[in-house]
Amino acid sequence: MKSGIFHVPYMQPRRNPREVFDYSVEIAREADQAGFADFMVGEHATQAWESVPTPEIVIGACARETEQLRFAPMAHLLGLHNPGSLAIQVGWLSQVLQGRYFLGVGPGAYPRDAQLRGQPADLSEARPRRDEALEIMQKVWEREPFHFEGKFFKGGFPEHSVVENPEDEFHVMPDFAPWNGAENLEIAMTALSYNSATMKYAGSKNFSPISFFGGMEVGKSHWAQYEAGQRENGFTPDRNRFRMCRDIVVADTDKEAKRIALEGGLGVCWEKYLVPVYKEFKILQGYIDDSGTGIDINDLTMDWIAEHVWICGSPETVTEKLQKMNDDIGGLGQIVMNTHDYIDDPKPWIESMHRIAKEVVPNVKDVVATA
């Protein structure tokens, strides 16, 4: 079992960009030292609580401070970019990181991100734009001449020839295809909703699945959709590619871990941002079903969330809960912790990170399952 980090990042709106940037680098440095495998950075332009619009800049800075950690924008919202430019940026950064890069792609889920680019707020263009942009990017990486005119985008690749005379090197076109070839670039997609169509799409393209846990049935549905997309297109599903994101805090005792979660950035984010959003979109129902409490969604308290939504506790408690999740869902390849804003007192959060990577996740046993 591997451990990963999803750096959305959930930062309090009062933080300025420099604070978010510096904190991102600090968390990545600690993650690398702790032994995490992956560090994924979100991309959002209009959410104050999710405040990194250019993940590639954060990734570039973090890469210089780390040695083993793999990075990914999670995800580049393809329909909001010029696909030709993005293809070059992705390929170039993957070469800079020399194998420590993978790519997250998505359509975008926030209406204001679309409106900012002059696109419909109902997101009706988001998925077709994603598909068209991805088609152009993959053709650019082939480095063969083409011209494409779609419904939303135009793209192409220019004619280029081999330069035999060194004096003619001003004609040389750089090779910014992904490191070790586009065919070896891992591409991943995330999902949150039950029976997410995105997971089936990811499976059909042989991309990797990343699930934001919203209850056991939601998580199971993500794998079922992904598996269906894989098998319908001749691929063999591999649960080692399946990542699951959770909010996790580890301390010496269950009581102390719960306190760190409730009184710190995790608690602030859920109370002021995620609970209202998740209530509106009924995302919390999966947790209610798992809890067996039958509580009304409008009666949820932060204490209930700490007990039934987050995974907080001693290393033994957290290991036990993660093992149960892994067993019940049928097997995972990576457990991913979401980061939160602990700028004002980072020590307990950083200590928790190290314990997750060193004392917890390595003790979560694999499930003997390949499908």
Residue-by-residue DSSP string for 45-82: SS-TTB--S-HHHHHHHHHHT-SS-EEEETTEEGGGS-
Do the beta carbons of residue 71 and residue 63 sit within 8 Å? yes
pLDDT score at 369: 47
Do the beta carbons of residue 9 and residue 52 sit within 8 Å? yes
pLDDT at 168 over 90: no
Maximum Cα interatomic distance, the chain, rounded to a whole number of Å? 76
Which amino acid is residue 138, in one-letter code?
Q
pLDDT score at 140: 98
Mean pLDDT of the chain: 96
Q: Is 27 exposed, middle or buried (0-12, 13-18, 19+ CB in 10 A)?
A: buried
Task: Give me the count of residues in the chain.
Answer: 371
- Give me the residues paired with residue 105 across strands: 76
Q: How far apart (Å, rounded) are the C-alpha atoms in residues 371 and 240? A: 10
3-state secondary structure of 188: strand
pLDDT score at 166: 67
Do the beta carbons of residue 42 and residue 6 sit within 8 Å? yes
List, as one string, the DSSP characters of 314-361: -HHHHHHHHHHHHHHHT--SEEEEEEE--TTSHHHHHHHHHHIIIIIG
pLDDT score at 280: 83
pLDDT score at 62: 98
pLDDT score at 370: 44
pLDDT score at 173: 86
Q: Which residues contact 74 (CB under 8 A, 6 or more apart)?
A: 6, 40, 41, 42, 43, 55, 104, 188, 190, 210
Instruction: Give start and end residues of each alpha helix (H) in 117-210.
Output: 126-142, 197-204
Question: pLDDT tens digits, residue range 56-114?
Answer: 999 999 999 999 999 999 999 999 999 999 999 999 999 999 999 999 999 999 999 99
pLDDT at 371 over 50: no
Find how far residue 341's CA is from the centre of its chain.
17
- Cβ–Cβ contacts within 10 Å for residue 270, how many? 23
Question: pLDDT tens digits, residue range 258-297?
Answer: 999 999 999 999 999 999 999 888 899 999 999 999 999 9
pLDDT score at 169: 67
Do the beta carbons of residue 260 and residue 353 sit within 8 Å? no
pLDDT score at 282: 82
Percent of the chain with pLDDT over 90: 93
Do the beta carbons of residue 42 and residue 24 sit within 8 Å? no
Q: How far apart (Å, rounded) are the C-alpha atoms in residues 143 and 86? A: 14
pLDDT score at 368: 57
Question: pLDDT tens digits, residue range 205-231?
Answer: 999 999 999 999 999 999 999 999 999
The pairing of strands 154-157 and 243-246 is unpaired
* Helix H or strand E segment including 209: strand 208-212
pLDDT score at 160: 79
3-state secondary structure of 230: helix
Q: How far apart (Å, rounded) are the C-alpha atoms in residues 315 and 319? A: 6
